[in-house]
Amino acid sequence: MPLHHTSIPNIICFMSFLRSVISYILDFLETIVVAVVIFLVLYVFVFQPHRVQGQSMFPTLHSGEYLLTNKFTYQFEEPRPGDIVVFKAPIHEEYDYIKRIIAVPGDRVKIIDGKFYVNGYILDESHYLSSSVATNGQRFLQEGMEVIVPPNSYFVAGDNRSNSSDSRDFGPIAEDKIVGKAWFRYWPPSAFGLIKAQEQD
């Protein structure tokens, strides 16, 4: 009885199919590797995700919101008053804080009658705070006392002044402790969009 052998055309067809599958898998893996590398580069050098915890920046930011911090922008420009920044906590640096810059190096800061004064002028915070909000002194900066922001440091405060531990309590933060600028809010969907800095007058 004659034996039945697989025809050469069938073998060639199978090998061609196998090469196509292998090529597809390699292309897919290459795409994954490139995507991972791009993500890591963006994460390490450009953007870092953060979750807002607590109400210290209410009503501007709410607890539970997710945002991207831009770690790149301050390589080309200095932090400015009104910027919302993420920085290493003064005592427990494994945690990040988020606050608003009130004053920059060399500025004179004081609190009088529940308002910030910078360089002798009342700080206009009407873009992001209700006029009824009172700014009280804390351990570092007390009512009527004036401090000068040291070089390479920034005076920061939470928008929720009655529920924020900030430079009024622990003093100005060093520039090298700033992680980056709060840039984009991606959750919840209702708050999706850029986080705009409010320049102060």
Q: What is the pLDDT of residues 129-150, one digit of tens each?
A: 998 899 999 999 999 999 999 9
pLDDT given for residue 18 in this prediction: 74
Q: Which residue has the higher pLDDT, 101 or 26?
A: 101
Highest mean pLDDT among 14-18, 36-40, 173-177: 173-177
Question: Mean pLDDT, to the nearest integer, of 28-36?
Answer: 68
pLDDT of residue 201: 47
Q: What is the CATH number of domain 52-194?
A: 2.10.109.10
Percentage of residues in the chain having pLDDT higher than 70: 86
Which pair of structure tokens corresponds to residue 61?
Answer: 């930011």
Q: Is the pLDDT of residue 5 over 90?
A: no
Phi, psi (rounded to 5 degrees) for 62: -115, 150
Considering 7, 23, 56, 130, which one is annotated as catalytic? 56
Tell me the percentage of the chain whose pLDDT exceeds 90. 67
Backbone dihedral angles phi then psi of residue 39, each to the nearest 5 degrees: -60, -45
E strand or H helix at 10, and its extent?
helix 8-41
pTM of the model: 0.79
| CB-CB contact of 171 with 157 (8 Å) | no
User: Which letter does DSSP use for residue 104 in this model?
Assistant: -
Residue 191: φ, ψ to 5°: -110, 10
pLDDT for 176 beyond 90: yes
Active-site residue 56, yes or no?
Answer: yes
How large is the average pLDDT for residues 65-75?
93
Residue among 99, 164, 167, 181 flagged as catalytic: 99
Range 106-116 average pLDDT: 97
Q: Is 99 a catalytic residue?
A: yes
Distance CA 61, CA 191 (A): 9
- Write down the pLDDT at residue 186: 93
Which among 200, 201, 190, 191 has a CA at the least distance from the CA of 84?
Answer: 200
Cα distance between residue 186 and residue 61, in whole Å: 12
DSSP label of 110: E
**Cβ pair 79, 86 in contact under 8 A:** no
**When comparing pLDDT for 167 and 197, which is higher?**
167
Q: Identify the band that residue 19 occupies on the pLDDT scale cut at 50, 70 and 90.
A: confident
Report, as an integer, the average pLDDT of 166-176. Answer: 97
The band of 41, judged by pLDDT with boundaries at 50, 70 and 90, is low
Tell me what pLDDT residue 42 has: 54
Q: Which CA distances in Å does 162 have to 101, 138, 189?
A: 17, 10, 28
**80 contacts 197 by C-beta, under 8 angstroms:** yes
Query: Sign (positive/negative) of CA torsion 141, 143, 148, 149?
Result: positive
